[in-house]
Structure 1
Amino acid sequence: MITTRGLTKRFGRVLAVDAVDLDVREGDRYGFLGPNGSGKTTTVRMLLGLVYPTRGEIEVLGKAVPKRVGEALPELGALVEGPAAYPHLSGRRNLSLFDAAGRGARRTRRPRIEDALERVGLAKVDQRPVRAYSLGMRQRLGLAAALLNKPRLLVLDEPTNGLDPQGIKEIRELLVDLNRDGTTVFLSSHLLAEVEQLCTRVGIVDRGKLVLQDDLATLRAVTGRVLLTTPDPATAVALLDGRVEQREGDRLVVRHDDVTALNEQLVAGRVRVRELAVQRRTLEDVVLDVTGPGSDSFGEVR
């Protein structure tokens, strides 16, 4: 769906994007993750033909960009930075003009607009002028515009910007539903929690370089440790003979790779078990491993 080879962009002496090789596959929910200022938005703009690369190759939906970007656009929906709209017009009227400018089919325009507004939660306020919209509502309207043509590929740059926690959850569920129906999602974000909950595949960029790219399930591998919660922590520590690596109150981190065997040992030793869970690496662990010092503009929540 998206392939880049050696994608590079310079602005004078500033190297914004440095030899990035993206591999976004059909059916992915791909999280393009990096701190603010790491080159994410510049990369997205190059994928859409809005900025020309200094060097390197781009293919989107099998079409070379920017040379053949016009052939890819009918099957592609995008939301980049703050979506533009005529402030004195309603959201519905803005979508109608946007669809007409993109040469959308007139006979299906009304039902497609209805569906897009419903999907993003704007159906009840669609007659209100956009100047009365909140930042989150404007973001939803931009997403509605990206959905008008039921795209095969959706390219989103910080799509939950300005949304409250409920809005973020609704957009996440919408993107999962779209992906389940066949839309590949490429989402740029600096929010670890957002990417970890939504995405199936991740690319991490730091200072313009793609430092890691893999399936999220592979990255979040088991650590060989088990998280144990017990009202008998002292007894558990004595029983497990040096396997306890960390203790905080009634929660223990135990070096063990077999939860069933550990549970049997604890029960036989009369240790009450409230919870046993295999410990996995978090996305935060992965990011901290591959990004350099000073890459501190990641966020967990808005």
Structure 2
Amino acid sequence: MIRTTGLTKRYGSLRAVDSVDLDVRAGDIYGFLGANGSGKTTTVRMLLGLVLATSGTIEVLGEPMPRSRHSVLPRVGALIEGPAAYRNLSGRTNLAMLDAAGPGGSRRTRRTRVSDALEQVGLAGVGRRPVKNYSLGMRQRLGLAAALLRTPELLVLDEPTNGLDPQGIREIRELLLGLHAQGTTVFLSSHLLAEVEQLCDRVGVLDRGRLVVQDQLSALTRPTGRVVVHTPDPSHAVALLSGVTEAEVVDRDGQRLVVAHPDPARLNALLVADGVRVRELVDQRRSLEDAVLAATGPGSDHVGAEAPSLRAGAAA
């Protein structure tokens, strides 16, 4: 669906995007992670032909970009750097004008398409209200509605939950999962680890313009080879395991133990047989945050769970 080779964008001496090789496959929900200033938005704008690359190649839906933009873009829905709209017109009128300006949209079905898009993003009841009276979250929803007008094969979204409250974020997440279930490939650019971890199945991480990670989320969050044990008898468990050659308690925090052991089932049996009460015993998995920190290294502006990182002077 999206493939780039050596994609590079320079602004003078600054390499905003540096030799990026993206591989977004049909059926992916691909999370494109990076701190603000890492080059995410510049990359997305190049994918859609809004910014010309300094060097490298881009294919979207199997066709070269930006040369094939007239045949490709009608099949792509996009929300980049926040929605644009005429503030004095209603959301419904904005969508109708946008639909009329684009190629391939039937005038006969325009009203239905606009109504369906507003319904999908939760704006059906306020579609006739002037956009100047919309909150930031409502404007974000309107931008997403615009991206959905043509039932796109590929949906490219840059920070789609910006300005939304927790309920709104959940609704957008459920909407994207529903679209994906119907066959839409989703490319989601974000700085929020939690958003990507809950929604995406493949992940790419951009750090200072370079793609430092690209893999299945399940591979990035694989088991560490350690076991997390929750027990009301931590001292008893530690004393027992100190005499077991194949077990090592590597961390203790109250009633939570992290144990290096090759077989969780055998570890559980060992503890229970000696009278240790085990409330929970699970494989420890590496978090997405751990994977990102390992890939980006010290001194980087990391993506985060809540707020964006800022780096002065860097391109978005």
Aligning the two structures, in what range does the TM-score lie when normalised by the shorter sequence? over 0.9
What is the TM-score with the length of structure 2 in the denominator?
Answer: 0.94
Residue segments in structure 2 that go unaligned for 5+ positions in a row = 308-316
CA apart distance, 1:297: 4.5
Q: 1:278 aligns with which of 280, 283, 289?
A: 283
Helix, strand or coil: the match of 1:107? coil
Is the deviation greater in 180-189 or in 110-119? 110-119
Q: Do residues 259 (structure 1) and 264 (structure 2) align?
A: yes
Deviations 1:17-66 (CA, angstroms, capped at 9, x unpaired): 00000000000000011111010000000000000000100000011101
CA apart distance, 1:74: 1.3
Helix, strand or coil: the match of 1:83? coil
**What is the aligned partner in structure 1 of residue 195 from structure 2?**
194
Deviations 1:124-156 (CA, angstroms, capped at 9, x unpaired): 111110000011110000000000100000001
Q: Do residues 121 (structure 1) and 122 (structure 2) align?
A: yes
Q: 1:117 & 1:301 partners in 2: Cα distance?
A: 28
**What is the aligned partner in structure 2 of residue 288 from structure 1?**
293
What is the alpha-carbon root mean square deviation over aligned residues? 1.0
Q: 2:274 & 2:236 partners in 1: Cα distance?
A: 8
Q: Do residues 173 (structure 1) and 189 (structure 2) align?
A: no
Deviations 1:220-252 (CA, angstroms, capped at 9, x unpaired): 110011111111000011111261111111111
What is the TM-score with the length of structure 1 in the denominator?
Answer: 0.98
Question: In structure 2, do the counterparts of structure 1 residues 258 and 38 end up closer, same or farther at CA, with 3 Å as the change threshold?
Answer: same
**What is the aligned partner in structure 2 of residue 131 from structure 1?**
132
Is the contact made by 2:296 and 2:302 (CA closer than 8 Å) also made in structure 1?
no
Q: Do residues 81 (structure 1) and 81 (structure 2) align?
A: yes
Amino acid in the other structure paired with 1:275: E
Q: Do residues 13 (structure 1) and 13 (structure 2) align?
A: yes
Is the deviation greater in 251-260 or in 75-84? 251-260
Q: Do residues 243 (structure 1) and 248 (structure 2) align?
A: yes
Amino acid in the other structure paired with 1:251: R
Helix, strand or coil: the match of 2:109? helix
Amino acid in the other structure paired with 2:77: G
Where do residues 84-123 of structure 1 align in structure 2 (5 Å cutoff)? 84-103=84-103, 104-123=105-124
Helix, strand or coil: the match of 1:118? helix
Q: 2:34 & 2:302 partners in 1: Cα distance?
A: 8
Residue segments in structure 1 that go unaligned for 5+ positions in a row = none
Q: 2:237 & 2:291 partners in 1: Cα distance?
A: 30
Helix, strand or coil: the match of 1:106? coil
Aligned residues: 302
Amino acid in the other structure paired with 1:102: G
Deviations 1:258-278 (CA, angstroms, capped at 9, x unpaired): 222121111101011111111
**What is the aligned partner in structure 2 of residue 31 from structure 1?**
31
Amino acid in the other structure paired with 1:140: R
